[in-house]
Amino acid sequence: MNDLKKTLTPAFIALAIAFAIASVVLLVSGHSPLTAYRAMWKNFATLDGVVTSINVGARYYIAAIAIAVALKMNLFNIGTNGQYQLGAMFGAVVGAAVKLPAPLHVALTLSVAFAAGAVWAALVAVLHNTRNVHPVVAAIMLNGVASSVITYLMQSTWTNFKNPALKEYGSTRPIPRSGQLPVWKIGSSVLQSYVLLAVAVGIGFYLLVYRTRFGFDLRASGGNPGAARSSGVDPKRMVLITLAISGGVAGLIGMGIVLSSNDQLTYGDRFPGALGFTGIGIALLGRNHPAGVAAAAFLWAALDQGARGLVTVNITGEIAVILQGALLFIAVIVYAVWERKFLAATIRDAAARTAAARQEAAAA
Amino acid sequence: MITTLLDRWLSARWQRTVASFLGFVALLAVAGRLFSSRGEDGSGAGLTGSPTVSTALGFAVPVVLAGLGGLVSERAGVINIGLEGMMILGTWGAGFLGWHMGPWGALLGGLIGGLIGGALHALATVTFAVDQTVSGVAINIASLGICRYLSDIFFNGKGNEGDLGTIADSPSVANFGSRASVPFIGDPLQSLEDRHWFLISDLAGVVRGLLVDVAWSSVLLLVLVPVIWYLVWRTPFGLRLRSAGEKPAAAESLGVNVVRTKWIAVVMSGGLSGLGGAWLVLDSLKYQQGMTANRGYLGLAAMIFGNWMPAMLFVGAMLFSFSQSVGFQLGYESRALIGAVGMAFALGTIWTGLRRKVIPTVLMALVSIGTLVFAARNKAINDALIKALPYVLTLVVLAVASKRQRPPAASGVPYIKGHAG
Amino acid sequence: MSNLAIELHDIVKRFPGVVANDGVDLKVETGTIHAIIGENGAGKSTLMKTLYGAHQPDEGTITVNGSVKVFRSPKDAIAEGIGMVFQHFMLAENLTVWENVVLGNEPGSPFAINARKARQRITELSLRYGLDVHPDAMISDLGVGQRQRVEILKVLYRGARILILDEPTAVLVPQEVDELFASLRELVAQGATIIFISHKLLEVLSVADAITVIRAGKTVAEVSDPSTVTSRDLAELMVGSELPTPETTGSTVTDHVMLQIAGLDVPATAGGAGVAALAVRGVSLTVRAGEIVGIAGVEGNGQAELLEAIMGVRPIKAGAIGFDGTDITHWSTKQRRESGIGYVPEDRHRDGLVLTFPLWENAALGHQGAAPFSNGPWMNAAGSRAFTRQVIEDFDVRTPGTDVAALALSGGNQQKLIVGREMLTNPKVLIAAHPTRGIDVGAQAAVWDSMRDARAKGLGILLVSADLEELIGLSDRLLVLFHGELVAELDPLHITSAELGSYMTGAKVTTSA
């Protein structure tokens, strides 16, 4: 209970400050914050609003977990943007090309997406391990290369397919029925089973990081690289495996869009391009913890959803982006301050309890 | 024998600089003649043509400015991944003030936008000791939203008929009217360049591209390269700044206000990056969403390539922007550039081969053969791949250069006051 | 009482959970060398930082040359002519000597440093006090003794008349100590006042004009005439009780070779391409079961690199490492640790602990691949906790429990946790650097006992220590490392600290193997 309070308090402080900032921005631009928030709430708090937030939140969640895995060892995988696009494209191409029974078909498609992301992220690790190239810079360059590679591959005949339904866009062939992830109709809304994939990724993340030897090595490498190395962890191998896992998970970010019948079922020009960066924000907001990230992902998606209601009151929806940005920036500050305060308290507390124990021992 | 002679001659810095410059031009000249298919229809500027070099110099400016920003910040011990976001804020500021006040306003607006971004980073990393990479990334993400919101309010539907802003663009911004040239050399250089004499015309083209008909915004901002060098390596403030990045506890124990020094450095870093954004606005004649296109990160790459020193940082930015500029010419110049890279690796193979380093020699030979064959077999190179060329080249250059780099010792370490001793 | 340069009265300084200074008094006369002695953690450094304005006292007054002062920052103290040479050098490696010296007080205008003037002034000062260093040298190229001279120059450059030296001899060999003391006497002769912190009693007795003893944050004695006391008296004042000594009883050395190193070359910079300098050159040694082999050497002569190479953390250039009859030269660190090589690293914060991990996870560090810490791919929290409780009990780790983060413990208790974790996992060979560094006297004895016991049961130990008493007392054989090479093999039963020191500086060389 106490632990939960310790974790949640800074998040709420950050949230309050962020809303305060957004309110000031709204006031300055001549709008009533109350009207804005009411309109946002109204657009979110419907069945469709919630289901959409869950669908979108699931994809944000996977995007954030991809970042969080690497951040556990203080590695910034800023290249998830390129990794998930490559994953989605290769997944979509392979998924449309093969004929297999349903579960195998889906499994193959997801594996291809995972592998494409993993390989692309592993390139960053190789450049870092062998040539000492800064991983953030390498990943950004590879994002640039990835978009060129995708453009190039999408020009060739084996990927490009003029979908008659979407004449003006280039895209891959649509995924056949056996390759799709099931969707469930709830009233007029559609819930994607991709959400279950997100749950599985979250559980897998938790077990891997907090329960296994690999996770121990991972966290030790993040906590103190020198000590991890002295304890027998090979840092280069760790960087390679961790980035590959991170990139693989990133490869799954777009698969809800590619594999759900209420969504695009293809990879193409209309595919969203910046989910990777959103994932970074959410991972930081959720403090890299599987539950925290889940809350942050849902919140982020809910803000997106709410923002679409702002047109009804003549306010620009971009206020949600301001809100998200401010929240992120304030949160990292509040978390850092809170953590230091918490550490100081831990040290004080430990010293006091040790002293008390010693006195007791002396008295006895 | 040959290597010792070479080593001896190359030991003086200015000789090394001149030799590298001449060598580079010669390489491009040869590659241009071997691989360019420009002769077939006569169009295109050529690798060493003054338009190519001139464009490259311009493209380098925002990368150099971001790189200088990174340098000032990291020399003071603060990693600045947020340069991209600061540049984005700079482009918006430049778009806004440039639209209202002209080119000087654009520079001022870029500066202010960047300073604000820098101040945010300083607040988080210096005052609150937030992880520096985390703060930088947060600024990059937040700046996108801030600019979109501001554009919606200040640009969307504003401006004159036919020149209306949108949520993604500002109304037009005027650039400086004239361009700058070193006097009296333009015409002679041009006539030399037009002769198509091997090497001499190439050299004339490169020099003309660098010194004649340069945008005033480029001139004004590139002056900052020596200015920053002087500030960081020749003034008391610079010494304090460097000590804050190397051993802040030592600086504090001598009464230096480390927190203030870092604040100034990080804010300044943002301002420099924002000025880079202003250049982009002046070049495109308006603010456009996404116009920074990762130049903040490229600046970091240039800084790393330059080993945290301004002059080499400039060279790194030029290498990148040159390949970008070549990509803006028609496809066959990119082919020549790829050929030049292959030849550079061939030279590298000889260099390491003479020093009997087996593995680098074999690796370089493979890369060299691969790129040369690619350049020889492809007459025109696909547009999509040309776009990747600057990124690939940056990676290659970093992969070659990064091994020997030495970042400031305390870079990335959050500093909390009162820990002297 | 003639005129006092410094008078500290009733200084109290509290840190979270600790009272570091609990009413300390100190009187220092002008023109004298005044020593402050006390155990590790007695509060000496805290007191000196208070005097230097690095932090502010919670209670008490500071009087300098007769008037009460309040120092908000070192700047204020510097203005009063007080300068401090820290125990850990405060020098930026990548700056030159002159840059380090003038930092914060640069000659010239705000727009340009007058480098010529800076060099000139430094040369002047170094000639006057016999502190020979080149102003344009990079700090990274300087040895320990030279770095210390730069530190003193920094202080003198600022016109300090009162110099505080925090454990200045800790990193010096006896010959360098003599040079330092000569410079200090020269300074005092020219009117300076020196406050000298140490826990090396013989040194203190040889150089100090007066001594103040601090124990547990309080002044326990003031000695105005050092010739009236012995080092034994001082030691008992410092500790407040009888002293333990490190001493092995009887040899337990067997014939069974546990660790064999042959012709080891280790480059100075890890992984660097090209021709890096060698930090360790042609080192060959053996450690047998039941034997403690001590390695003596001034810090920075290759000890750290040697141990890291043995652990596989640092790549080697040539040579072979054998362990219990197997060639392990190409083994990973993980294989080495899992096969039974225990490791107490030199720097516990850099290599020994993950400070944010709880104690039970730290206890598993280095042994995470084996029971009771893990079970196949899964970690075993219960097993680790039980093990940690054992370490806490056997090694008297002062902690509220197994689940607190390691950073909540004092340095000494952290060290005990590391030593305990390595000893209780029953290694076959222990590679130990400074195993008792920073821990209190009682716990020091416990660590020595555990090492002796393990040795009797057949453990082979390679011991690196800066504490010469510890080395001589514990080792069965002593090897001296100088500039990366083994220059002498000595019998600890027939050698004194002073003799050992002359081997460590390379002044004496033998091959009396």
Write the pLDDT tens digit of every residue in A55-102: 999 999 999 999 999 999 999 899 999 999 999 999 999 999 888 998
For residue B408, list chain C residues with Cβ-Cβ distance below 8 A: 94
- Residue in C54, C73, C99 closest to B421 by CB: C54
Is residue A358 less than 8 Å (CB to CB) from chain C? Answer: yes
The residues, any chain, with a CB within 8 Å of residue A151's CB and separated by 6 or more, are B384, B387
Q: Is the dihedral of CA C231, C236, C239, C241 positive or negative?
A: positive
Regions in chain B scoring below 70 on pLDDT: 1-3, 5-7, 9-11, 36-45, 330-332, 418-421
* E strand intervals along C67-161: 67-69, 82-85, 108-109, 112-113
User: Mean pLDDT over residues C23-46, rounded?
Assistant: 87
Interface test with A, best of C356, C399, C421, C440 (most A CBs within 10 A): C356
SS3 C211: strand
pLDDT above 70 covers a percentage of chain A that reads 94
- Residue in A214, A233, A343 closest to C377 by CB: A214
pLDDT tens, position by position, A161-174: 555 554 455 778 88
Q: Which residues of B192-217 are buried (b: 16+ CB within 10 A; e: fewer)?
A: bbeeeeeeebbbbbbbbbebbebbeb
CB-based burial of residue A341 (10 Å sphere; 0-12 exposed, 13-18 middle, 19+ buried)? exposed
The pLDDT of residue B359: 84
The pLDDT of residue C509: 63
Residue C1 predicted with pLDDT over 60:
no
Instruction: Read off the pLDDT band of C141 (50, 70, 90).
Output: confident
Helix (H) or strand (E) run with residue C28 in it: strand C18-29
Write down which chains contact chain A via at least 3 CB pairs under 8 A. B, C
Distance CA B148, CA B156 (A): 10
- What's the angle, vertex CA A330, arms to CA A328 and CA A332, rounded to 5? 70
Residue C231 C-alpha, separation from nearest chain A C-alpha, in angstroms: 31
Is residue B146 less than 8 Å (CB to CB) from chain A? Answer: yes
Residue A346 C-alpha, separation from nearest chain C C-alpha, in angstroms: 6
Residue B18 C-alpha, separation from nearest chain A C-alpha, in angstroms: 28
Residue A158 predicted with pLDDT over 70:
no
Answer whether C74 sits within 8 Å of B409, measured CB to CB: no
Instruction: Read off the pLDDT band of C420 (50, 70, 90).
Output: very high
Helix (H) or strand (E) run with residue A161 in it: none
Residue A175 C-alpha, separation from nearest chain B C-alpha, in angstroms: 26
Residue C6 C-alpha, separation from nearest chain A C-alpha, in angstroms: 33
The pLDDT of residue C271: 42
Is residue B153 less than 8 Å (CB to CB) from chain C? Answer: no
Residue C2 predicted with pLDDT over 70:
no
Query: Residue A23: how many CA atoms within 13 Å on its side-chain side?
Result: 11
Which residues on adjacent β-strands are paired with residue C431?
C343, C462
Angle of helix B186-194 relative to helix B50-75, nearest 10 degrees, comes to 120
For residue A216, list chain C residues with Cβ-Cβ distance below 8 A: 361, 364, 368, 374, 379
The pLDDT of residue B255: 83
For residue B252, list chain C residues with Cβ-Cβ distance below 8 A: 74
The residues, any chain, with a CB within 8 Å of residue A232's CB and separated by 6 or more, are C332, C333, C334, C335, C336, C337, C338, C366, C368, C369
| More confident of the two residues B82 and C38 | B82
For residue B400, list chain A residues with Cβ-Cβ distance below 8 A: 131
pLDDT tens, position by position, A204-254: 999 999 999 999 999 999 999 999 999 999 999 999 999 999 999 999 999
Size of interface A-C (CB pairs under 8 A): 115
Q: What pairing do the DSSP bridges indicate for beta strands C18-29 and C4-15? A: antiparallel
Residue of chain A minimizing CA distance to C370 = A213
Interface test with B, best of C90, C95, C105 (most B CBs within 10 A): C90
Closest CA to B62 of B277, B270, B222, B228: B277
Distance CA A264, CA A166 (A): 10
Least confident of B61-65, C99-103, C156-160: C156-160
The amino acid that residue C193 corresponds to is: T
Answer whether B399 sits within 8 Å of A127, measured CB to CB: yes
Is residue A131 less than 8 Å (CB to CB) from chain C? Answer: no
Residue C395 predicted with pLDDT over 70:
yes
Cα dihedral: B362, B367, B372, B374 (round 10): 140
Judge contact between B115 and B60, C-beta under 8 A: no
Judge contact between A209 and A30, C-beta under 8 A: no
Residue of chain B minimizing CA distance to A141 = B391
Residue A100 C-alpha, separation from nearest chain B C-alpha, in angstroms: 33
Distance CA A62, CA A45 (A): 24
The amino acid that residue C360 corresponds to is: W
Peptide bond into A182 cis (omega under 30): no
The pLDDT of residue C513: 38
Residue C134 predicted with pLDDT over 50:
yes
User: Mean pLDDT over residues C474-483, rounded?
Assistant: 91
ipTM associated with this complex: 0.88
Residue C63 predicted with pLDDT over 50:
yes
User: Across all residues in chain A, what is the average pLDDT?
Assistant: 90
Is residue C382 less than 8 Å (CB to CB) from chain A? Answer: no
pLDDT tens, position by position, A248-278: 999 999 999 999 988 888 888 888 888 998 9
Judge contact between B207 and B214, C-beta under 8 A: no
Answer whether A217 sits within 8 Å of C368, measured CB to CB: yes
Distance CA B379, CA B392 (A): 20
- What's the angle, vertex CA B209, arms to CA B204 and CA B215, rounded to 5? 155
Residue A190 C-alpha, separation from nearest chain C C-alpha, in angstroms: 39
Answer whether B137 sits within 8 Å of A29, measured CB to CB: no
Considering the entire predicted model, what is its pTM?
0.89
Interface of B with A in 161-180 (CB under 8 A): 167
